[in-house]
């Protein structure tokens, strides 16, 4: 589950158990900087999905082809399915990285999307750990690993 505000991106990784219920496995938030906090709402929601998948969940979802991402923004699915219609290269770059993951995108109405909704509303504190913005390094490592697996 992913939710984005003008302050931060909140995310929860849920795991389905034998009893048919989903239980939290990992959760957290990534504080947005001054520039990111001024993105439009559509751009914020797409960026939130990008951050959750690439910066956080790639460790847990790498190689898994049957996970579901729940968002309260219905239009993100259209943005991902039509990357050529997006207005700039940065958004298309986020979409290309999001599409490296094999997942099903599900829209959840905002009133039922309460789990991650409270996470992205806390401003940055001086005691918070630094944000490691290594998206480029991660992508290089991802492709290097894929090439090593193929050549093995």
**pTM > 0.75:** no
Q: Which helix (H) or strand (E) element contains residue 103?
A: strand 103-107
User: Which of the two residues, 116 and 51, has the higher pLDDT score?
Assistant: 51
- CA 86 to the chain's CA centroid: 18
Tens digit of each residue's pLDDT (9 = 90 or more) over 125-145: 666 655 555 556 655 665 565
The answer, yes or no, to whether residue 81 has pLDDT greater than 70, is: yes
Instruction: Show the domains of the chain with their CATH numbers.
Output: 2-126 (3.30.420.10)
Q: Which pLDDT value is given to residue 29?
A: 80
Phi, psi of 21 (to 5 degrees): -105, 150
Phi, psi of 74 (to 5 degrees): -65, -30
The answer, yes or no, to whether residue 62 has pLDDT greater than 80, is: no
């Amino acid at each position: 589950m992913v939710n984005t505000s003008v302050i931060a991106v909140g995310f929860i990784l849920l795991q389905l158990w034998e009893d048919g219920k989903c239980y939290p496995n990992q959760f957290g938030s990534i504080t947005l900087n001054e520039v990111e906090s001024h993105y439009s709402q559509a751009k914020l929601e797409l960026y939130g999905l990008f951050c959750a998948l690439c910066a956080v969940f790639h460790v847990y979802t790498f190689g898994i082809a049957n996970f579901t991402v729940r968002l309260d923004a219905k239009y993100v699915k259209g943005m991902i399915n039509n990357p050529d219609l997006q207005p700039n290269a940065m958004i298309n770059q986020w979409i290309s990285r999001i599409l490296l993951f094999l997942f099903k995108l599900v829209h959840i109405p905002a009133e039922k999307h309460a789990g991650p909704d409270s996470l992205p509303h806390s401003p940055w504190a001086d005691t918070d750990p630094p944000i490691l913005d290594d998206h480029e390094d991660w992508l290089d490592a991802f492709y290097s690993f894929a090439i090593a697996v193929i050549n093995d």
